[in-house]
Chain A
Amino acid sequence: MTARFVAGRIGFYTLIAVLLAFFTIPLLWLATAPFTSDPTYEVGVPDFTWENFQAVAEHPYALPSLYNSLVLSVGTALLVVAMAALAAYALSRVRLPGRDALLYALLLLSSIITGTAAMVPLFQLAVELNLIDSHLGLILILTGGLLPAAIFMMKDFMDSTPKSYEESARVFGASPLQIVRHVVVPLVRPGLATIGVWAVANVWGNFLMPYLLLSDVEKQPAAVITYTLYTEGGQANLRMLSTFGLLYSVPVVLMYLFVSKKYGFRFHGGIKR
């Protein structure tokens, strides 16, 4: 072991430690601040008070907004999973000329649908269709935005399941829908779970679309409500923000842990392995 090697190691671990701290401190803050009577931007030792939670519970829109988030994300996820599964199955099994070009075009366009560029036309469309201030309208638009990427990922799962399972079921007389229900869905279940979690997480964290399309505070999800948590003086209300932030993050973490345990999937930039 040369001195140079030791120095290198020390440097390496110092770097790791700094990086870890960089990511850990905000998390630590999120874990301690809600239990502190008068939190600041610093991580301190909490005095384990429940007052902050009480304050959140008494806030007229905080808890309902979490419920709204749940409705929006679960609704969107269900729709995305169901439609992506059927579309990806068809695209994976039917030979269409220009199929791959279609998929890539969809993927490209989808980033526009729920992106900033389409804000005005989307808003107008929602107004025309009377879908402003409606959870259903928002769910449909969010679904539209997520669907192409979901189909793309789902098709990858479908492509990797051997055709002979389905052919075997076909020879036994199963109808296409029976084949999807009995054979395809169980085989790609980890894929469906991945897409579902991905969709939930996406909608849960989406600020722009609900902010744009829901003007009624009672219907707004947590992501939007977070931005309203200020003191009378216009300062960020750290007591409310930290506590609400914790309540806002826990469901997503729990969902991830649950699904990961059940299906053992891992994220790899959206591509399953």
Chain B
Amino acid sequence: MAAIELRGLTKVYPGGVKALDALDLDIPDGEFFALLGPSGCGKTTLLRTIAGLEIATGGAVVIGDRDVTGVQPGGRDVAMVFQDYALFPHMDVTENIAYPLRIKKVAKSARRAKAVEVGTRLGLEHLMDRRPGQLSGGQQQRVALARVMATQAQAFLFDEPLSNLDARLRLEARTFLKKLQRELGVTTVFVTHDQAEALAMADRMAVMESGHIRQIGTPAEVFQRPANTFVAGFIGSTPMNLLDGAVRGDTLDVAGCKVGVPSSAEGRLSDGEKIVYGVRPEYMSYSAEPAEGALGGKVAIVENLGASHLVTLDVNDVIVQAVVPEGSEPSLGDDGYAVPRRDRALVYRDGELV
């Protein structure tokens, strides 16, 4: 097991696309680290550069105190699960799992025994003679995991390993993967574009945007206190309300309403300055009656989220969303008032958290 350290890592593709821009990152030993970001932000590139499949244009990759920047992928002692799993179609499950050991010149009987051991641990014992083409997506994913486990590498790199599974299986695989990583204790970098997946699984996570890391933190930190409006807009199953506003004395003027200054920003704002006010729909209390410090308007849309509803209010032509528990949802056209929780609301100045 080993820590991963990236120093000013830069990757420019031929053609001039700067996929990674002087990126610094520290992943301590044994951590489950998620890389999150929109499509094209450089997640796969980062993972491939750590693995050595892409040659860094600048900067350094250090794995467990060893600078591996110029080392071939095979010499870095990492194992990778590709998005399409890349199971060898002409080998059966046993041979696939045993392949890394075959490269390491482990004797045939020993590597078969190891493959069966790892396969059994992942519930593949009755599938060991099948070819990948005869397996379901979830089974293929477990074979891919078994194969990296058999390597006993210093670090695991996963590129969207769950994205090929259907929604139901994904939830199961998520729990399974997290549990497995706990047990193995191997440093794991996990790429995903699904923010719920990152929040659910990671010990710590990084949110990337066009080759830069915009925030690093635990899922709770990133969810509760997004460091900038990009992260704020990206994280959360319902997007955060990000409303233009201005400071008016000791209150804020947001969407034509008067709301209190969030506790995190108290004493840090100057009168008259322009800000962006951020609050998650989950952190609003909704009522049909006018209330102090509320964003009030007409109910424009009501969306069913299952155990709750997402109510969209039209507040003086500004869209404000609030989550309302089941049973008290309003009907379209009603007047509605959403009071932000002061301890959860945030203020952004020039896109950065105050």
Measured CB to CB, the residues of A under 8 A from B are 95, 162, 164-165, 167-175, 178, 182-183, 186-187, 189
Contacts and interface: CB of A to CB of B under 8 A. Distances in A.
Interface in B5-56: 14, 51-53
Given A164-B86, A167-B82, A168-B80, A173 B74 contact: yes
Given A167-B80, A169-B99, A178-B103, 5 more contacts: A171-B53, A171-B79, A173-B100, A186-B90, A187-B89
Interface in B58-77: 72-76
A189 B53 CA distance: 26
Question: How large, as a class, is the contact surface on chain B?
Answer: 20 to 34
Contacts of B73: 167, 170-171, 173
Nearest to B80: A171
30 contacts: A162-B86, A164-B84, A164-B86, A165-B88, A167-B53, A167-B73, A167-B80, A167-B86, A168-B80, A168-B82, A168-B86, A170-B53, A170-B73, A170-B74, A171-B51, A171-B73, A171-B78, A172-B99, A172-B100, A172-B151, A173-B74, A173-B75, A173-B104, A174-B74, A175-B74, A178-B103, A182-B88, A186-B90, A187-B89, A189-B90
Contacts of A170: 53, 72-74
Nearest to A173: B74
A170 to B, nearest CB: 5
A11 B203 CA distance: 78
A162 B53 contact: no
Contacts, number: 58
A183 B103 CA distance: 12
Contacts of B84: 162, 164
Contacts of A164: 82-84, 86
A165 B74 contact: no
Contact of B88 (A171, A173, A178, A183): A183
A187 B90 contact: yes
Question: Which 3 A-B pairs rank lowest in CB-CB distance, beginning with the nearest?
Answer: A173-B74, A168-B86, A164-B86
B74 A172 contact: yes
A244 to B, nearest CB: 41
B149 to A, nearest CB: 12
A148 B154 CA distance: 44
Contacts of B53: 167, 170-171
Contact of A173 (B14, B82, B86, B103): B103
A95 B15 CA distance: 13
A187 B53 CA distance: 21
Nearest to A168: B86
B79 A165 contact: no
Interface string B157-185: 00000000000000000000000000000
A48 B214 CA distance: 88
A95 B84 CA distance: 23
A174 B103 contact: yes
A84 B80 CA distance: 31
Nearest to B76: A171
Contacts of A182: 88, 99, 102
A187 B91 CA distance: 10
Contacts of A178: 103
A248 to B, nearest CB: 36
A205 to B, nearest CB: 33
Given A162-B84, A164-B82, A171 B90 contact: no
A254 B224 CA distance: 72
A52 to B, nearest CB: 46
A168 to B, nearest CB: 4
Contacts of B72: 170
A187 B133 CA distance: 13
Contacts of B52: 171
B89 A171 contact: no
A165 B86 contact: yes
Contacts of B88: 165, 169, 182-183, 186
Contacts of B100: 172-173
Nearest to A161: B89
User: Which has the most chain B C-beta neighbours within 10 Å: A168, A170, A173?
Assistant: A168
Contacts of A165: 86, 88
A163 B83 CA distance: 12
B40 to A, nearest CB: 19
A187 B100 CA distance: 18
Contacts of B103: 169, 172-174, 178
A189 B76 CA distance: 31
A167 B87 CA distance: 11
Contacts of A167: 53, 73, 80, 82, 86
Contacts of B86: 162, 164-165, 167-168
A178 to B, nearest CB: 7
B132 to A, nearest CB: 11
A172 B79 contact: yes
User: Which has the most chain B C-beta neighbours within 10 Å: A170, A178, A186, A187?
Assistant: A170
Contacts of A174: 74, 103
A167 B80 CA distance: 9
A169 B74 CA distance: 9
Contacts of A187: 89-90
A182 B98 CA distance: 13
A82 B139 CA distance: 36
Interface in B281-305: none
A169 B79 CA distance: 10
Contacts of B79: 171-172
B56 to A, nearest CB: 16
